[in-house]
Structure 1
Amino acid sequence: MSTIAYGIKNCDTIKKMKKWLDAQGIDYRFHDYRADGLDPGLLETFEAALGWEAMLNKRGTTFRQLSDEQKNNLNRDNALALMLEHPAMIKRPLLVHNNTYHLGFKPEQYQGIFA
């Protein structure tokens, strides 16, 4: 069994997820996009599993700072390019557990994942 959580360490949701995983005694590895990087191949793998629309964090500051033209002309290729350039635009956390992909964190969601 392998579990990897992807995100940005100072994100409040990431902190909640880590606290929950630690409290449950779940062994995982955390990959910080800023410290550990994000390569195009990994991003493509995420997109193939989840879809770029689901991965795009439209509620974050980074997305809101895009121009109207950028927001209105999003497609798979330019969305992935933006996520690669600004990993904060990827919804967090992105959890890979037993080769299945999950976005976001809610305790009840994680109870189901790790049941």
Structure 2
Amino acid sequence: MKLYGLKNCDTCRKAMKALDAAGREFTFVDIRAEADLGTLAPNWLSRIASARLINTRSTTWRQLDAAERARAETDPAGLLAEHPTLVKRPVIETGGDVFVGWTKDVQAALGV
């Protein structure tokens, strides 16, 4: 299992703490420093709608101009590669599945 997120993200920290408590092994990957979003984003977007993967409530999103925001529809992978903090966190890969966020549904699917 790989957990993609940011070290200072509260939601990512909650997810890591819960996974540790449940005895689930995972590898943490910092999406800003370690992840190759140019490769990962298209793969995730082939399984998840861009509306679920792009965090439109983030500070980064609010700072984008209208043309950049329009890329969420036309080039979501490119937008995420250029602005890693737009990725809704955490993104968890396990087996062939990809989960976004740390909702009750995600926790149940992961057995946490």
- TM-score when scaled to structure 2? 0.88
Structure 2: which 5+ runs fail to align?
none
Provide closer, same or farther for how the CA distance between residues 72 and 102 of structure 1 changes in structure 2, counting only shifts above 3 A.
same
Please name the residue that 1:90 is paired with: 87
Please name the residue that 1:15 is paired with: 13
Structure 1: which 5+ runs fail to align?
none
Q: Which amino acid aligns with 2:20?
A: D
Tell me the matched-pair count.
112
Provide closer, same or farther for how the CA distance between residues 53 and 107 of structure 1 changes in structure 2, counting only shifts above 3 A.
closer
Percent identity, aligned pairs only, is: 30
Cα RMSD between the aligned structures?
1.8
Provide closer, same or farther for how the CA distance between residues 74 and 21 of structure 1 changes in structure 2, counting only shifts above 3 A.
closer
The aligned runs of 1:1-115 (5 Å cut-off) are 3-72=1-70, 74-77=72-75, 79-107=76-104, 109-114=106-111
Equivalent residues of 1:20, 1:107 under 8 A apart: no
